[in-house]
């Protein structure tokens, strides 16, 4: 089993690259987002890998982070989702967006992946939702930056609202649209941050 490869990018194709590891070239299938981030051949790269052994071939799939690899393994654990379909989903969404799509029941976002239908998207949500945690998803996304003063003032006096807005801003949403989405939920003192976030994400998607 190959856990990871560290080497030099020798060649780049449409959905794969060749990594030169001490003179041995490994062809690795990788997400599209990873390919677009590579500056070109000659770049040093470390990939966390998954090896698929078939009757006719041994195929390597590679990811920049352990988190991406973990999400890939979760995806291919879903009945009907093979390694190539899992790679296509991560190419279209990335691990972070996939997590939030699952947690917010956004099957349409997942189904935008070429080759992934509505039924498969719903199955992914059904099988992965209990395996994902919203707070953990936010922590993996980004450390929350400071929310703008106008948002802090608007959310003052309601820690649930403020925490929810800060989390959305950490995801890259604008402070104004984040506050608007959270307010559209009409949160009260009986709602926790996770409940508010799930509802607000549906408005943003």
What single string gives the DSSP state of each residue in the chain?
Answer: ---EEEEEEEEE-SSEEEEEETTEEEEEE--HHHHHH---TT-EEEEEEEEEE-SS-EEEEEESSHHHHHHHHHHHTSTT--HHHHHHHHHHTHHHHHHHHHHTT-HHHHHTSTT--HHHHHHHHHHHGGG--HHHHHHHH-PPPPPPHHHHHHHTT-HHHHHHHHHHHHTT--HHHHHHHHHHT---TT--HHHHHHHHHHHH-
Cα distance between residue 82 and residue 96, in whole Å: 20
Does position 143 have pLDDT exceeding 70, yes or no? no
pLDDT at 69: 95
> Comparing 2 with 167, which gets the higher pLDDT?
2
Work out the pLDDT band at 90, boundaries 50, 70, 90. Answer: very high
Does position 117 have pLDDT exceeding 70, yes or no? yes
pLDDT at 145: 38
- CA distances to 60, 62, 64, 97, 111 from 77, rounded to whole Å, are 17, 17, 20, 19, 18
Does position 178 have pLDDT exceeding 70, yes or no? yes
Q: Are 7 and 26 in contact (CB under 8 A)?
A: yes
pTM of the model: 0.68
């Amino acid at each position: 089993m190959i856990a990871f490869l560290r080497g030099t990018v020798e060649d780049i194709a449409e959905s794969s690259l060749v990594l030169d590891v001490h003179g041995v070239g490994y062809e690795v299938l990788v997400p599209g987002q990873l390919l677009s981030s590579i500056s070109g051949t000659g770049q040093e790269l470390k990939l966390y890998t998954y090896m698929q052994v078939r009757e006719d071939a041994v195929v390597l799939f590679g990811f920049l982070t352990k988190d991406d690899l973990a999400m890939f393994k979760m995806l291919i654990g879903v009945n009907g989702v093979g390694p190539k379909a899992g790679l296509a989903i991560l190419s279209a969404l990335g691990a972070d967006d996939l997590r939030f799509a699952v947690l917010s029941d956004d099957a349409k976002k997942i189904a935008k992946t070429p080759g992934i239908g509505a039924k498969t998207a719903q199955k992914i949500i059904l099988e992965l939702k209990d395996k994902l945690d919203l707070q953990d998803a936010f922590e993996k996304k980004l450390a929350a930056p400071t929310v703008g003063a106008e948002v802090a003032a608007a959310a003052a006096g309601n820690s649930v609202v403020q925490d929810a807005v800060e989390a959305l801003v950490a995801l890259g949403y604008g402070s104004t649209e984040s506050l608007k989405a959270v307010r559209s939920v009409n949160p009260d003192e009986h709602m926790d941050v996770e409940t508010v976030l799930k509802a607000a994400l549906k408005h943003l998607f």
